[in-house]
Structures are given as structure tokens and as C-alpha cells.
Structure 1
């Protein structure tokens, strides 16, 4: 099993940042990927969707608070974007190259994950069988990211690293976790 911890950093901008820390860990065991996110801080100021009874595949989840990760195969331009809303809604997109050929990844019919919230923390855990898109022999590269919207509608962008002059989670040089 391979495991790494992470701490997301906000994209440097002139706007005020929420009192928030986004931490977690990621594990790969054979071809099962588990990502554990934890948001810790002043969550009363963050717009976090409540869990819904019937989670579904939805578009544009990144317009609200959304936990994300990007997965690429080493030495390949192809990558996937996974969007996870605290509401339970989700989506997975496949790209042929940098922001090229975007389409829903139909290999996933559902993407179950668990969300637990308290006054000063919110946790999300997702487990994914990668066999649908990646062989267990393939080395993968990941970027862990988050979009955080506060109750005033201000949006901040969080990632392991920000390698450009604008927040851009699709940049392959930001896929810095190797498993």
C-alpha cells in the first residue's frame, strides 16, 4: 500500500481568505484509491451544501464548495477530473490533453462517498476502484484540489501547489502526488 498526507494551499490573491485548513491523506492499495479530506476551521462562514437523499451525477459542481482531484497516468496526456460535492452529488470528466476533449467518463455509473460534519470540521472520504480506467500496474499522478465558496459568494481555490499565474487545477505540473 502507498499512502501520502496532504495540505492544500489557497491560490495567492488579494482577497481575504477564510479561516480554514484543508488536510487529508491518499492511499492506493492495488487499484483501490482512497482519499480522505478534512476541512477544519470556521465553517460557519463557508457555504457547504447539506447531504441530499438522492446523490446524482451533476455538472458544474465547482461553482460551489467542491472537493476535487485530478488523476493522470504517468507519461500520458490523458487525465480525469473528479468532482465531489458535500451534498453527495458528483461527476467525473475525461480529458485527452490539457483542457482538450472533455467528456463525462461513462465508466463510472455512481461515485459513492461519505460526508460527516461537525461545528468546526467537515470530512469527506471517497473510495474508487480504478480498474475501470487504469491498470493496477500503471503509475498515476494526482492533484488534490478544492473550490471553497463562502456565504458572501466569494470563491477561493485550494491545491497542493499552484504552478501558474492564475488558479488552474488542470496544469499537469501540479499533479505532484505519485502513486
Structure 2
């Protein structure tokens, strides 16, 4: 098993935002991927959707507070974008190359994950079998990201690293976790 901890950084901005910290861990055991995000800090200015009684696949989750990760096969242009809403909604998109050929990934019919919304922390955890999209012997590269929407409508972009002049989670050289 390969387990790594992470801490996300906000894309540089001139705005002043609440004190937040996004940390977690990610691991791969055979072809089982586990990722856990921990959002901590001052939540009163953050827009966090309430938990849905009927979580479902939805589009454009990144327009609100959304936990994401991007998974690519090492030495391949193809990659996937996983979107996880604190409300329980989700989606997975497949790309043929940098922002090219975006399609909903139909290999996943559901993406069950847990969300614990506490006073000073939000914990989101996903445990997923990757067999539908990659084989266990393929090395994968991952970028871990989060979009935080503030109650005033402003959005901040968080990632392990920001390699572009603008926040761009799709840049392949930001897929820096190897599992």
C-alpha cells in the first residue's frame, strides 16, 4: 500500500479570505483508491451545500464548493476528473488530453462517499475500485484539488501545486502524486 498525506494551497489572490486549511491523505492498495479530505477553519463565510437525502450524479459541481481529484495514467494523455460535493452529489469525467474530449465516465454508476460536517471541520472520504478505468499494474498520477465558494460569491481554488499563471487543475504537470 502506498499512502501519502497532503496539504492544499490556495491559488494566489489579492482578496482576503477566511482562515481555511485543507489537508488529507490518499492511498492505493492494489486497485482500491482511498482519499480523505479534511477542511478545517472558519466556515461562517463558506457556502457549503447541506447533505442531500438523494445524492446523485450532477454536472457543474465545480461551480460551488467541491472536492476534486484528477487521475491520469503515467505516460498517457488520458485522465479523469472526479467531483465530490459536500451535499453528496458527484460526477466523473474522462478526457482524451488536456481539456479535450470531455465525456461523462459511464464506468461508474455511483460514487458513494461519506461526508461528516462538524462545527469546525468537514471530512469527506471516498473509497473506490479503479478496475473499471485502469489496471492495478498501471502507475497513476493524481492532482488533488478543491473549489471553495464563499457566501459573497467569490471562489478560491486549492491544489497541491499551481503550475499556471491562472488556476488550472487540468495542467498535467500538476498531477504530482504517484501511486
Which bin holds the TM-score, normalised by the shorter protein? over 0.9
What are structure 1's unaligned runs of at least 5 residues? none
CA distance in structure 2 between the aligned counterparts of 1:118 and 1:111, rounded to whole angstroms: 22
Aligned to 1:173, the other structure's residue is in SS state helix
Matched, 1:88 2:99: no
2: CA distance between counterparts of 1:45 and 1:38? 17
Deviation string, structure 1 residues 54-95 (Cα, Å, up to 9, x no partner): 110000000000000000000000000000000000000000
Q: CA deviation at 1:145?
A: 0.1
Could you tell me the TM-score, scaled by structure 1's length? 0.99
User: What RMSD in Å do the two structures reach over aligned CA positions?
Assistant: 0.5
Aligned pairs for 1:1-179 within 5 A:
1-179=1-179
Give the match's secondary structure for 1:76.
coil
Runs of 5+ consecutive residues of structure 2 not aligned to the other structure: none
Q: What's the CA shift string for 1:136-158, capped at 9, x where partnerless?
A: 00000000000000111110000
Question: Deviations 1:124-175 (Å, cap 9, x if unpaired)?
Answer: 0001100000000000000000000011111000000000000000000000
Q: Which runs of 4+ in 1 moved over 6 A?
A: none
Secondary structure of the equivalent of 1:131?
Answer: helix
SS of corresponding position for 2:28: strand
Deviations 1:108-134 (A, max 9, x none): 000000000111100000011000000
